[in-house]
């Protein structure tokens, strides 16, 4: 249920509605809007009778919310969420952002070389994994805290905000300290305790869709983060398990317009992990932009043949620059 207050509702009337919700044993989530306040009712085990609220002073209407992912859904918030990433950088609501960098941070020289190249081509956020969730325990696992320190150096040298993945509670504490955005990877999309911890974080979260997650499961995962109070969530479509071996995963392009209809949260596409092969990355990136993605996350490496992780899907810097040129013609207008 969403209680929409009158434009002229007073603070006391809003507090009265909140008190009524809490008296019923539910949680009230006031959401200040452009011209009026709405109050969401959370943690109610079943439908709530609108009659309990419509006659309270200051209430305009009580709208039932049918989606189980209440906070994520457009039923609760009609307007797009716009996330302010600082320094004039915004994502969502028409603001388009490209995140680029290597799969993993390997050294300061590697990270800085790539950061300077992607920045020159127009990327606004630098990515690089310090904690790598690898399928094999024998694969490169990342530089851990040393990698985070390198990311902080990259930010200091270039001014680019940095995003990196947290794979568990310990790494999330560290990532929250060093990074500007926290990435929750596909393999952790249903790690519910990690999602709750991300919901308590002070930084925005980029949540990747699980390898075989339905969109409802994806929304419910985001709901975990929002329900803990962190409303700065960016969704990321990174491909789901497909058939055949032509691509590592299947980029679910249909998910992007569907997510945008169902949810107010921004959604970016990661064509690199979907493609698994350099040759497919740029066409998939263009496709994602054409269907309305709010941004892209792309793996780039200056020496992919020697990359410690995901070299085959990493674009060379000049390929990334060419893609950015294409995107500018595909999507003229509001670039962050």
Binding site for Mn ion (CB under 5 A): 103, 310
Closest by CA to 3, choosing from 68, 69, 51, 72, is 51
- Number of CB atoms found within 10 A of residue 173's CB: 12
Interface with ligand PEP, residue 101, by CB under 6 A: no
Cβ contact 293:268 at 8 Å? yes
Pairing of strands 97-101, 181-184: unpaired
Q: Report, in Å, the least distance between residue 333 CB and Mn ion.
A: 29
Closest by CA to 39, choosing from 66, 82, 72, 77, is 77
Choice between 211 and 321, CB closer to ligand PEP: 211
Q: Report, in Å, the least distance between residue 208 CB and Mn ion.
A: 11
Those residues whose C-beta lies under 8 Å from the C-beta of residue 65, and which sit 6 or more positions away, are: 1, 2, 40, 73, 75, 76
Q: Which residue is nearest to ligand PEP (CB)?
A: 185
Choice between 39 and 175, CB closer to ligand PEP: 175
Q: Which does 186 bind (CB under 5 to 8 A by kind): ligand PEP, Mn ion, none?
A: ligand PEP
Interface with ligand PEP, residue 248, by CB under 6 A: no
Choice between 185 and 271, CB closer to ligand PEP: 185
Q: Which of 9, 59, 85, 103 binds ligand PEP (CB under 6 A)?
A: 103
Q: Which of 90, 208, 286, 301 binds ligand PEP (CB under 6 A)?
A: 208
| CB environment 65-86: b (16+ within 10 A), e (fewer) | bebebbbbbebbbeebbebebe
Q: Which does 185 bind (CB under 5 to 8 A by kind): Mn ion, ligand PEP, none?
A: ligand PEP
Choice between 294 and 310, CB closer to Mn ion: 310
Q: What SS3 state is found at 143?
A: coil
Both tokens of 315, joined, read 């674009």
Sites of contact with ligand PEP (CB under 6 A): 103, 129, 133, 185-187, 208, 238, 270, 273
């Amino acid at each position: 249920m969403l209680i929409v207050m009158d434009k002229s509702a007073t603070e006391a009337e809003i507090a009265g509605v909140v008190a009524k919700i809490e008296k019923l044993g539910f949680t009230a989530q006031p959401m200040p809007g452009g011209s009026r306040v709405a109050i969401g009712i959370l943690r109610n085990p079943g439908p709530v009778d609108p009659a309990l609220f419509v006659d309270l002073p200051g209430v305009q209407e009580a709208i039932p919310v049918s989606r189980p992912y209440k906070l994520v859904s457009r039923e609760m918030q009609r307007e797009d969420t716009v996330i302010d990433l600082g320094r004039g950088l915004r994502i969502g609501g028409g603001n388009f952002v490209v995140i680029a960098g290597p799969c993993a941070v390997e050294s300061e020289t590697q990270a800085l070389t790539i950061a300077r190249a992607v920045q020159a081509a127009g990327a606004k956020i630098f990515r690089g994994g310090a904690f790598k969730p690898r399928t094999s325990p024998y694969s490169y696992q990342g530089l851990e805290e040393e990698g985070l320190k390198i990311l902080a150096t990259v930010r200091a040298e270039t001014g680019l905000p940095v995003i990196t993945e947290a794979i568990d509670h310990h790494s999330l504490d560290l990532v929250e300290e060093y990074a500007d955005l926290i990435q929750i990877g596909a393999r952790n999309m249903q790690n519910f305790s990690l999602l709750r911890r991300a919901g308590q974080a002070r930084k925005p979260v980029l949540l990747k869709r699980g390898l075989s997650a339905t969109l409802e499961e994806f929304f419910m995962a985001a709901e975990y983060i929002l329900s803990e109070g962190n409303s700065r969530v960016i969704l990321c479509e990174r491909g789901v398990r497909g058939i055949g071996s032509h691509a590592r995963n299947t980029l679910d392009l249909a998910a992007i317009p569907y997510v945008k209809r169902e949810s107010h949260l921004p959604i970016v596409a990661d064509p690199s992990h979907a493609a698994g092969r350099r040759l497919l990355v740029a066409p998939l990136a263009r496709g994602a932009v054409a269907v309305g993605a709010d941004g892209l996350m792309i793996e780039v490496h200056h020496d992919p043949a020697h990359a410690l992780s995901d070299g085959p899907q990493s674009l060379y810097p000049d390929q990334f620059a060419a893609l950015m040129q294409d995107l500018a013609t595909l999507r003229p207008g509001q670039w962050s």
